[in-house]
Every structure is written in C-alpha cells, then in structure tokens.
C-alpha cells in the first residue's frame, strides 16, 4: 500500500493532469515572424508627419482662440454685459467644437471641460457640473453674471493647461483619421437632436464647427486621399454647408436650432450619415490600421 502522502499525490494527478502547451494556457512565444505590435505601438509613417505637425499647430491655435473668447466672457460678465458674454460663449464653444474630437484623445479632458448637466444624477446641482455647459447654464438660463465670471476664469485655466498638453504630445495618424470621422458621428448623436447646447440653442453653430473641424483634417490629408474619394467627401461637405447657410446670421453666427425646419433636419441627417461612412472608409484606403492584436 502506498503511503498516505503518495496516495494523495497520485489522486491529485488523476483529477488535475499536468498542463501542456496543447491546452493553450501558456503564453505564446512571440517571434519576429508572428508578432504584431499592440495598439498604439505602431509608429506613424514618416510621410504623414509634416501634415500632422501642421494640423497639430492649428489645433493649438484654435485652443488659443477659444481661450481668448472665454477671457472676453469673463470680462463682459464682470462689467455686467450679459449680451456680450452670451455672444462670446457661442464663439468660444464653436472654436472648441472645431477640435473637440482631438481633445477627446487626451484622457478625460473633454469630460472635464465640456460635460453636460445630464451626465450627472444631480443634473445642474451636481458639484462636478463645470466647464462650458455650466457657463452656458449660468449665462442663458440663470443669467447669473457673478457665477458666469467665476466659471469663465476656471475654464480659462483648464484650456491653458490643455493647450500645453496638445502642444507637447505627438498625434498618431490612425487617431487623426478616426477623429475626422468622429465629428459627423458627434453631430448625429447629440447636435441634430438639439442636445449639445440646451440653454443657448446654438447647435447649428456647433454643427458647422464640427464640419469645419472634420474638413480641416481632410485638407491636411488630401495629398494621401484618392482623388475620387476626396471629391465625394468634399461634395458632401459643401452640401451640408449649403443647408446651414440658410440659417447663417452676420459674423458667422446662426439662428436658434429650434428654427431648423424638419425638411432641412432630415437632409442634414442623411448627408452627415453619408459623410461618416465616407470618412470611415479612409482607414482602409490609406492603409492605416486602427485595431491591432496578436496573430493566431
């Protein structure tokens, strides 16, 4: 008879057989022949670098302009000029929306700067409700210039920090192409429902800003885009701009979203949906990989 200890080991082998590579529980051995870099490890091809740096410089400039308008809000609020403060809010948010999908690449920066009240259980009473839309709420709903001034000052500092981060980071071509397509997706999810600016009703201005932001990326990537595809994309941009022009006021401002006709709303939805699809196709046309995994 086997000793008790050996019996236990023998029984253990019956119920817990030795593991082997066939069971697939061991990590694969990665060699040069089967390795694929993990997401984010694939460097941007050098041919894209001049375009990316030029575009990145423009993003920084847009953020600087946004800061300037936010500063104007603070000054107008301090002097008791509600109308000027409201006007500058719309301009500030427009410039922010022109680069917003790029900002979303920087951790939770967009959530901190641009979250809406409906993001939070306590809505407008939540202490985390700050940034652009809190400023919008103070200016257009509460018309409280003291609180608007304080919000504008805090937002100005956050934008200054963000601008430094964007200046010092290196944008990747895959993420930039994705950002171009994210702009129309953003329009479809919120702005064509009038959900972005619920107090100022300035969503038409932001729709125009998102299309401008998407077109800006495509302008820098144009040398790499097949001519036929570029023509289709550009034609789509122009059709959208033509509809928006019906609602354009002086100095590039727009009428209230509430004045958008159902017919124009439906046309915009169709065109923006088509644009999102056209821009999504660029990833394969330019040979840029977005999702990566190990080969099996």
d(CA 136, CA 84): 13
pLDDT in the model for residue 289? 67
Whether 36 is in a domain gets the answer: no
pLDDT in the model for residue 290? 56
CB atoms < 10 A from the CB of 203, how many? 25
Query: Number of structural domains, the chain?
Result: 1
d(CA 148, CA 73): 8
Domain span holding position 76: 44-285
Whether 171 is in a domain gets the answer: yes
Query: CA–CA distance from 36 to each of 33, 40, 46, 138, 169 (Å)?
Result: 9, 11, 19, 50, 24
pLDDT in the model for residue 45? 86
Decide: 205 and 179 in contact? Cβ < 8 Å: no
Question: Helices H, strands E: what count in the chain?
Answer: 12, 0
Whether 168 is in a domain gets the answer: yes
DSSP string for residues in 17-86: PPP-GGGT-SPPPP-TTT--PPTT-SPPPGGGHHHHHHHHHHHHHHHHHHHHHHHHHHHHHHTT-HHHHH
d(CA 256, CA 42): 44
pLDDT in the model for residue 35? 41
Whether 3 is in a domain gets the answer: no
SS3 251: helix
Whether 2 is in a domain gets the answer: no
Per-residue pLDDT reduced to its tens digit, 14-45: 444 444 444 444 444 434 444 444 444 567 88
pLDDT in the model for residue 3? 52
Whether 30 is in a domain gets the answer: no
Per-residue pLDDT reduced to its tens digit, 140-166: 999 999 999 999 999 999 999 999 999
Residue 201 CA, distance from chain mean position: 20
Whether 189 is in a domain gets the answer: yes
User: Please, what is the average pLDDT of the chain?
Assistant: 87
Model's pTM, two decimal places? Answer: 0.83
Domain harbouring 91, CATH code:
1.20.1420.20
Per-residue pLDDT reduced to its tens digit, 161-185: 999 999 999 899 999 999 999 999 9
Answer yes or no: is pLDDT of 69 > 60.
yes
Answer yes or no: is pLDDT of 85 > 90.
yes
Per-residue pLDDT reduced to its tens digit, 232-288: 999 999 999 999 999 999 877 899 999 999 999 999 999 999 999 999 999 888 888
d(CA 49, CA 75): 39
pLDDT in the model for residue 245? 96
Whether 130 is in a domain gets the answer: yes
pLDDT in the model for residue 26? 40
């Amino acid at each position: 008879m086997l000793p008790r200890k050996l019996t236990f080991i023998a029984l253990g082998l019956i119920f817990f057989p030795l593991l082997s590579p066939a069971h697939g529980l061991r990590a694969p051995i990665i060699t040069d022949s089967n390795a694929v870099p993990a997401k984010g490890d694939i460097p941007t091809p050098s041919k894209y670098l001049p375009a990316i740096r030029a575009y990145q410089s423009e993003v920084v400039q847009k953020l600087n302009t946004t800061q300037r308008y936010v500063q104007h809000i603070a000054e107008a609020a301090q002097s008791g000029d509600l109308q000027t403060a409201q006007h500058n809010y719309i301009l500030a948010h427009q410039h922010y929306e022109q680069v917003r999908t790029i900002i979303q690449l920087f951790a939770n920066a967009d959530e901190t700067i641009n979250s809406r009240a409906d993001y939070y259980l306590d809505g407008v009473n939540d202490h985390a409700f700050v940034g652009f839309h809190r400023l919008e709420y103070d200016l257009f709903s509460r018309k409280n210039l003291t609180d608007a001034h304080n919000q504008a000052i805090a937002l100005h500092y956050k934008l200054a920090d963000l601008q430094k981060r964007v200046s010092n980071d290196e944008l990747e071509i895959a993420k930039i192409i994705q950002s171009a397509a994210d702009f129309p997706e953003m329009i479809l999810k919120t702005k064509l429902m009038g959900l972005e600016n619920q107090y100022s009703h300035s969503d038409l201005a932001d729709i125009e800003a998102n299309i401008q932001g998407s077109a800006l990326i495509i302008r820098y990537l144009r040398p790499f885009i097949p001519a036929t595809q570029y023509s289709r994309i550009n034609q789509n941009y122009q059709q959208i701009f033509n509809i928006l022009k019906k609602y354009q006021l002086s100095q590039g401002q727009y009428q209230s979203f509430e004045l958008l006709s159902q017919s124009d709303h439906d046309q915009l939805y169709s065109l923006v949906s088509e644009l999102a699809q056209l821009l999504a196709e660029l990833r394969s046309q330019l040979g840029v990989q977005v999702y990566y995994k190990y080969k099996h």
